[in-house]
Structure formats: structure tokens, C-alpha cells
Amino acid sequence: MNTETVTIKNSGATFTPTALADFLSDKILRYFDGFPEKCTILDPACGDGALLTSIAKKINNTFDFELRGYETNIEYLIEAKNNLSLYLSENQYEINHCDFLEVAMPRANDLFFTCSNHEFTDVVIANPPYVRTQILGAEKSQQIAKTYNLKGKIDLYYPFLIGMTNALKKGGIIGVITSNRYLTTKSGAEIRKFLIENYDILEVIDLGDSKLFDAAVLPAILIGRKKTSKRQLSTPCHFTKIYEEFQLSKNGNISKIHSVYDILKQENSALYTVDDGRVFNYSVGLLKHSHIKTDIWQMTNDDENKWIEQIQKNTAFYIGDKFKVRIGIKSCADNVFLNENWGKEFISSEKKLFRPLISRENIERWTCSTGEYSKVLYPHYSANGKRAVYDLSQFPKAEQYLNKHRKQLEARDYVIQAGRRWYEMWVPQNPELWKFPKLIFPDISVGALFSYDESGAIVNGNCYWIVAQIDNEKELLLLIQGVANSSLMAQYHDLCFNNKLYSGRRRYLSQYIEKYPIPDPSSVFSKRIIEIVKLLNDKCSLKKELEKELNDCVNKAFGFTD
Ligand SMILES: C[S@@+](CC[C@H](N)C(=O)[O-])C[C@H]1O[C@@H](n2cnc3c(N)ncnc32)[C@H](O)[C@@H]1O
């Protein structure tokens, strides 16, 4: 095994490439000015020792230090010892074969409890494992969540961040590579709060899709100084973010530069192209923390902040103020409910149960594709506006079909535990709402694909939908559709929610869409937006021209003149 990237499936072990390890070491040492008599440097999940080796080489014996590593995998641990022994004497490093989360767990609430595993290190350098706790198994993840007082969906790097903070001395420096997801996701809220409370955050570097690192997640680096008291005020934190640019405008200025690392040394936001031809949008600025500690960490620079403020000044309402953004149906047994061969099952004659389904692949910008939708077996109906489930004895063929899959369906014990029938969907949504006009968009796509539907079709769980329940809401829905599909909103989405995936794809989650700003519906520009959207939804042949005019109207509706 070498120190280049090695990925071992499911173990969360993606080793840090040397160049990235050196980049992180340099960052940490730039902020490290404590110089105690002997400095302790910790990697709590050291793998083959790439990070410890890098920082030791960078220090180059300019001060006295001791490295401390933890690793649960004995083969990696042996590799780490071998690698470190090439540069260091034996008394300069100690690699322990144990679970760091047991070592650095939060203290019991006991006045007489002393813990030698807390506040022992001056520096933490880390790239902790990325493993969703679902993959760890229920028992292990519940035990970690309980010990570390974590709730909701967690990733293994959350307890690592807490454990590392316990291990770090007050005033000590942490430099850590994690997934960038905690910066902007709902599930990252508690960890963002924890970091703000415990650190003066010095730098956040969102490495985006720059591919410096061969992990399945997009990585980010956080550099922080542990606060000496919780009341210590934070200094403004620098952010850097770098994402590949896929939608280049013809007149944009692009500077040539050798590599992504060279871009990361630049002080100004700009577009850069590197030797292999990729173009990156590089942005630097000060991180905007709102006074609510759980809020997402918005990475926007001064010019971008002015642009966002202008939009917010001209906002009449946010989508979430007037509409609920819902996820589509989730059966948790799609092979049964979304069977592609209904014909062979001889049950499609029981028409009431078979409903057209709009899925991600049916959606285009403006309209859903006119091809045959697939059908879903939907055992729910609306009784006086409330969700009800059909009695299967009315549908003997479907009953026979579902009985064939009964074992699989009953294995969804959460459905049964919720007091529901074994053949119900897990998330059926309210059957009353399908008949209303709605906007539908896929949860992940390269650009916005807000489409309009009046067919009454059901929406699949890989899409979200917004429904207009009363007649005069329909026009608002069209205004929302126009704004959501505009170039302005694409930029707003990237700046405010910063949740891009690889290859320019974006997540369109309800938590973001509910925060989309909408201009005054009574303005002349909004009225024209609605007219244009109607034409586009009717597949008018002048699509290009209309989209251009729409973009112009959206800009003007938010107060931007050319
Ligand atoms: C993402 S790799 C990073 C390794 C190394 N720090 C680097 O940057 O190359 C994470 C490492 O953590 C180890 N690991 C996973 N769970 C651990 C735990 N609870 N305690 C200590 N090490 C752990 C894995 O075996 C793996 O080697």
C-alpha cells in the first residue's frame, strides 16, 4: 500500500494523497504559534500515517514534537509505524491500536472523574472515516449516538469531531478533512452549532468537485482554534470554495494556471483553467454566520452578498411562506408497487388501483414528457379529504399479487409498527392532492427542471412537488415555476445553498426550495413571467427566445436593470 489514495469499500478509509496532506499541514502550521516545550500532534484515525508523516516532515525538527495516532485496523497501523520509522526516532511517535471514539468520549458528569484522554494534544490533524451510521449497523450507531449525545441522521465524522475537540487543549489548532455536507445540510445543524461554540473557526475550504481526493463525498477542510472559554468571541472566518464550472458564458475572463493547488493559493475570486483543461469557479470571502448557530454556513463574498441582498429587498415572499414542498411517494418496495410488467400480472383491469406515475426520467424543464408514464399500484384513496386504504377483498387480482409479495412487504416492520396495513406505502402522501395542478421537479439534476402538471398523476419519491389547491394559487405556481427555472435562481441556489454534487449536478431539496425568493406577483414583470411560462408549458416553438425574455423579466422583477 502506498500513501496515495486507496479506497477500501465501506471501511470509510480513503487515505489522503500526499499533496493534500502537505496542503493541510501547511495550513495548520501557519496558525500554530503556541510552541510549548513539547508539542503533541494527534491523528485520531491515522490509517497508514499519511497526515502524521506530512506534518512531521514540514516541522522538520524546528521544534520538539511527539506524534500520537489511533487506528482500529491492524494492517494500516503496521503500515503507519513503518512509514513513520523512516523519518522519525521511536520516541517521536506512538501509534495505538484502539477505537478513538472510546478513548475520547465525553466525560461522565461526575466532579471526581478525571480523564487523561482529554485536552492532551496541541494539534489535531485528521481525515476521519466517512461512514453513514446506517452502514455501521443499528446497535453500534445507537451506542455512538448515545455516548456522543447526537440525534438524527449522523455520519461517523460527527462523533470524531466531538472526540477530537475533547482531546484538544484549549487554544490548540485543529485541521480536519471531512465531507462538506455538514456545512449546508439539515442533519449538519447540531455539528455546526458545536463547532461554532467550541472553535474560533479560522478557515473553511470547500474543495467541491476539484477531485483532489478520491472519496465518494465532496471534501471540505476546516481549520479552527479551540476556544479558551465558550464566551470567547469569534473572529471573521475566511472561506474558499472551488467548483468545476460547466456553464461558461462566452465573455467571462478565464485565467490560466497550472493546478488546483495553485488556484487554492490565490487571494481573489475568479475563473481559472488548469493544465488538464478543467475550468474552476474559485471564490474567497468571509463566512457568514447568522446569529442562529444551527444555520447553514453561507460562503459568499462581498459582491455576492450585495447581489443576494438586492434580491431579498425585492422579495414579496419565500416559497415556504405560502406552499409546502413535498417529497413524492415512497413505497420502500418499488419492485412490488412500481412493477414494470403490470401486463403480465393480469391485474391492470382493476383500474382504480393503477395510477400514472411521474418519475425523474419523465421530467423536462417546463413540462413532463408526454410519453407513457409508468403505473404505480397505489392502494390509497381519499375519503372526505383524509387518506384511506382500500380493502383488498374488492380487488381479488391485486390481492393475489400482493399476497405473493407479502413476506417482503411485512418485512417493512416500520409500516406495521405505525399501525398501518401490510400492503400500504410507507409515504403515500395525501391522495386528495394529486388532482390539483402541481409543479414537479427531480431531487437531483444538473439544472433546474421545474415542470407543470395538471394530469392528476402521482409523483415518485425521486421528485418533489408543490400543489395549488385553490384556483388563484395556480398563477402563483406559474410565477414560481418561471423564477425557479431562471438563470438568476440557478445562481442564487448555488450561492445560498452551496450543495453541488459531482459533474455539476445539484440537489433540489425541499429545505432549499422553500427558501426561494419570489418577487411581487402584481408587478408588470411578474405578470409577463406568468405569460411566458404559459407559452413554455404549452411547448411554444420559440423556446429559446422566450427563456431569454423570461431571464430578463426575472432580473427586472428583482430590481436589476441590465
Ligand atoms: C479516511 S481514513 C484516513 C486515514 C488517514 N488519516 C489519512 O488521512 O490518510 C480513516 C481511517 O480511520 C480508521 N478508523 C475507522 N474507525 C476508527 C475508530 N473508531 N478509531 C480509530 N480509527 C478508526 C480506518 O481504519 C481508516 O484507516
pLDDT along the chain (562 residues), means of 10: 42 82 97 82 97 96 95 96 95 96 80 69 95 74 90 88 96 96 90 94 94 85 92 82 82 90 94 95 84 81 89 96 97 91 73 90 85 84 93 92 95 92 96 96 95 94 96 94 97 87 88 96 98 93 92 96 76
Place of cell 418533489: 464
pTM confidence score: 0.81
Please give the share of the chain, as a percent, with pLDDT higher than 70: 93
Its CATH architecture, for the domain 7-233, is 3-Layer(aba) Sandwich (3.40)
Q: What is the pLDDT of residue 28?
A: 97
Contacts of 401 (CB under 8 A, 6+ apart): 345, 347, 377
Distance, in Å, from the CA atom of 422 to the CA atom of 401, rounded to the nearest integer, reads 13
In sequence order, which residues have a C-beta less than 8 Å from that of residue 52 and are 6 or more positions away? 41, 43, 46, 67, 69, 80, 84, 93, 125
**Which atom belonging to ligand 1 lies closest to the Cα atom of 12?**
1
Domain boundaries of the chain, sorted by first residue:
7-233, 326-391+428-557
Which among 109, 179, 193 has a CA at the least distance from the CA of 151? 193
Q: Is the CB of 51 under 6 A from ligand 1?
A: yes
Q: Is the distance from CB of 160 to CB of 101 less than 8 angstroms?
A: yes
Residue 251, pLDDT score: 65
Report CA(522)–ligand 1 centroid distance (Å). 57
Q: Whose CA is nearest to atom 6 of ligand 1?
A: 46
CATH assignment of 326-391+428-557?
Answer: 3.90.220
Residues whose CB is less than 8 angstroms from the CB of residue 370 and which lie 6 or more positions away in sequence, other chains included = none
Ligand 1 pocket, 163 CB below 6 A? no
Could you tell me which of 191, 186, 224, 230 has the C-alpha nearest to residue 205? 224
Common-topology check for domains 7-233 and 326-391+428-557: no
C-alpha of residue 277 to centroid of ligand 1, in Å? 33
- Which cell numbers hold the place of 159? 462523533
Cα-to-centroid distance, 299 and ligand 1 (Å): 29
pLDDT at 152: 79
For residue 209, how far is its CA from the centre of ligand 1 (angstroms)? Answer: 22
Query: Tell me, what's the pLDDT at 9?
Result: 40
Taking the C-alpha atoms of 199, 202, 207 and 212 in order, what is their torsion angle to the nearest 10 degrees? -100
Query: Which residue's CA is the nearest one to ligand 1's atom 18?
Result: 99
Q: Are 498 and 544 in contact (CB under 8 A)?
A: no
Q: 237: Cβ below 6 Å to ligand 1? A: no
Measured from the Cα of 14, ligand 1's closest atom is 1
Compute the distance from residue 96 Cα to the ligand 1 centre, in Å: 12
Q: Using a 6 Å cutoff on CB, does residue 215 contact ligand 1?
A: no
Amino acid at site 352: K
3-class state of residue 413 by DSSP: helix
| Cβ–ligand 1 contact at 314 (below 6 Å) | no
- Is 22 near ligand 1, meaning CB less than 6 Å away? no
Q: Is 76 in the pocket of ligand 1 (CB under 6 A)?
A: yes
Strand segments (E) across 289-397: 317-318, 326-327, 354-358, 366-367, 374-377, 380-383, 386-389
Q: How far is the CA of 20 from the centre of ligand 1 (A)?
A: 16
Distance of CA 71 from the midpoint of ligand 1 (Å):
6
The alpha carbon of 140 and the centre of ligand 1 are apart by a number of angstroms equal to: 17
Q: Which of 490, 451, 450, 444 is nearest to 311 (CA)?
A: 490
Nearest C-alpha neighbor of 520 from the set 317, 343, 384: 317
**Distance between CA atoms of residues 509 and 114, nearest Å:** 45
Compute the chain's Rg from CA coordinates: 27
- Beta carbon of 53 within 6 Å of any ligand 1 atom: no
8 A C-beta contact, residue 122 and residue 79:
no
Hey, what amino acid is at 133? T
The pLDDT assigned to 8 comes to 47
Give 214 Cα–ligand 1 centroid separation in angstroms.
Answer: 15
Ligand 1 atom nearest the C-alpha of 73 is 25
Q: Is 12 in the pocket of ligand 1 (CB under 6 A)?
A: yes
CA atoms of 341 and 351, how far apart (whole Å): 15
